[in-house]
Amino acid sequence: MDRKKIIKLLALNLGLAVTNIVLFSPGLIGLELGGDSALETAFGSMLIFLSAAGLIYGNYKLLSEPGKVIQTNEIKTTEDYIEALNTHRSKKTFEKTVSLLLDQIERITKKNRTIRDILLQIFTASEISYQKFDGVIAEVEKIFYLNIRSVLNKLNAFDEDDYNFIRKKHETGTFSRQFLEDKYKVYNEYITFVKAASEDNEQILLKLDKLLLEISGLNSIESGQLEQMDGMVEIDQLIKQAKFYKN
C-alpha cells in the first residue's frame, strides 16, 4: 500500500473517531442516546449510523481503489522511485521483487554515503581525486536507477488481471494450447526481465561492497593509486559496459 493511501486511511479513521469523541463526551457537546430528549436521542442515533456508514464506505473506497501509476518521466528523486515501486506492491507476481528493489535502494544509499564519508577522511571535497571518485559513484548510481526505471516501465505495462485471466483459462481449456503458450511467453519475458534487472543491481551492490572493503583500511591514497584499485577497475568496467549497451 502506498504512503498517500495510508495517510488517507489514517485521516479518515482518526477524523471519525475524534468527531464521535467530541459529540458524545460529557463536558464537550455530550449527546446522550438515552437522554431525556427524544430529539437528542434520535439525532445521536443518526450520527452514529452516519459515522458507521462513513467508516465502512470510506475504508472500502480507499482500499479498493487502484494505486496511481507513476510514469517514469515523472520520476526525479529517490523518493519518487520508492513511491513508484510501492504502487506495484499489490501485483502478486512481482511482490517479492518489488520488496527486493526497495531494499536495494536503501542499501545503495547507505553504501554510497559510507564510501563518501571514508573518502572525506582521506581527501578534502575540493581535491581532484575526491571529485573524480565522487563522479564515478554518481555514474554507478545512475546505472542502478536506470535499471529500476526499466523495471518500472515493465511493471507499468504488465497487466496482472489479464495474466491471471489467462492462467484460469489454461485450467479450463478455453483456448488452444498454442495460443496459451504464446501468451505465456509474452508474460514470462516481463517476469524474466524484472528478475534480471534486480540481479544486475545486486551485482552493482557487490562491486560497491568490494570497493568499500578496499578503501576502509586506507589512511591515504597516493596520486594515481585510486584508478588502479581493483574495486575501481571493476566499477570502471561496469560504467563502460553500460555506456556500450546504451549506445
Separation of alpha carbons 14 and 36, rounded Å? 30
* Domain boundaries along the sequence of the chain: 3-64, 72-246
Residue type at 48 in one-letter notation:
I
Q: Which grid coordinates belong to 33?
A: 442516546
Along the chain (247 residues), what's the average pLDDT of each consecutive run of 10 residues? 59 63 52 52 59 61 56 86 92 94 97 92 86 90 95 94 83 79 92 96 95 81 69 86 62
Beta-carbon contacts of residue 115 (< 8 Å; ≥ 6 apart): 137, 208, 211, 212, 215
Q: Which cell numbers hold the place of 174?
A: 478455453
Amino acid type, 8: K
pLDDT attached to residue 247: 43
Q: Which pLDDT score is estimated for 88?
A: 92
Sign of CA dihedral 31, 37, 43, 49: positive
C-alpha cell at 58: 470510506
Q: Shortest CA distance to 127 belongs to which of 209, 222, 217?
A: 222
Q: What is the DSSP secondary-structure string of 214-240? A: HHTT-S---TTHHHHSHHHHHHHHHHH
| pTM (2 d.p.) | 0.70
Phi, psi torsion values for 36, nearest 5 degrees = -70, -30
Count of residues making up the chain? 247
Q: Please, what's the largest Cα pairwise distance for the chain?
A: 90
Q: Return the pLDDT at 28.
A: 46
Grid cell in block for residue 173: 481449456
Question: What is the reported pLDDT for 214?
Answer: 86
Could you give the CA distance from residue 183 to residue 43 in angstroms, rounded to a whole number? 58
